[in-house]
Amino acid sequence: MRVLLPERPRPLIFAHRGCSSLAPENTMAAFRKARDAGAPGLELDIHATKDGGLVVAHDDTFERTAPQCGSKQLEELTVREIKHFDVGSFFDPAFAAERPPLLEEVFEEFCPDLYIDIELKSHRTKNDPLPQLLAERLKALGPKAAESVTVSSFNPVCLRSFKTAWKRLRNTPIACAVIYCASAEVPFPLRHGAGRFIAGCDYLKPRYTQVNVWRRALCALEGRPLVPWTVDDGALARRLFHLGCAGIITNRPQDIVER
């Protein structure tokens, strides 16, 4: 089985959108809270902007986290427009100064001290700029990319496109994962991880409810580590580690990390 982020201590713990239980998700404040809580890794989401930026945000619009900004898709907005949005007040007025960060800003402050799982947010199956844009940003990051970064997506076509783009730019491998869950929002054929056969991924990110001894054994036979999401209970995290999961993704690193 491939060892995921082999230079990093076990178990791997990724703070989901930062420490999103204590600060607004996918903001520098949330990432700093995660670091302060002792989280060794971050999980975040990226979208491509209209002008080729990579903005850290989960949804396709800012309607939930910045409702005053309307319903435009992120890919219809420029970086300059996005940088005016308040994405902190929805969580607490104390975070009103938070603006959506760019991926480069996160790299500059947290990499390589923390490892980072970058989730590609895309519904496209063709003409998608996101995979190439990320490959170019990671190339600029240099050797730190392979040592500190993983890439994942619900969209196996997007993930495969990233792997192809990255291979053209660098020979150093970056671990990639298909994300999945048994949700009506996920296309039926992809709800149990079949996207791995499209993407050719290195590890798997299932919802934690889809992890059991049988599935763990199957993944071991395939040589693919498991990193389930979203695990916010310490006892559950320990059970998953006992099953052999390489790591977990959590909203509450402050309750999971042993300090």
Active site residues: 16, 58
Rg (CA), the chain: 17
The whole-angstrom separation of Cα 163 and Cα 203 is: 13
Residue 247: how many CA atoms within 13 Å on its side-chain side? 30
Contact 5, 149 (CB under 8 A): no
Q: How far apart are CA 32 and CA 96, in angstroms?
A: 16
Structure tokens at 190: 């992809």
Q: Terminal CA-to-CA distance of the chain, rounded, Å?
A: 29
Cα 200 to its chain centre, rounded Å, is 18
**3-class secondary structure for 97-151?**
CCCCCEHHHHHHHHCCCCEEEEEECCCCCCCCCHHHHHHHHHHHHCCHHHHHEEE
Which one-letter amino acid corresponds to residue 3? Answer: V
Please, which residues have CB within 8 angstroms of residue 230's CB and are 6 or more apart in sequence? 16, 207, 208, 249, 250, 251
Residue 90 and residue 65 in contact, taking contact as beta carbons nearer than 8 Å: yes
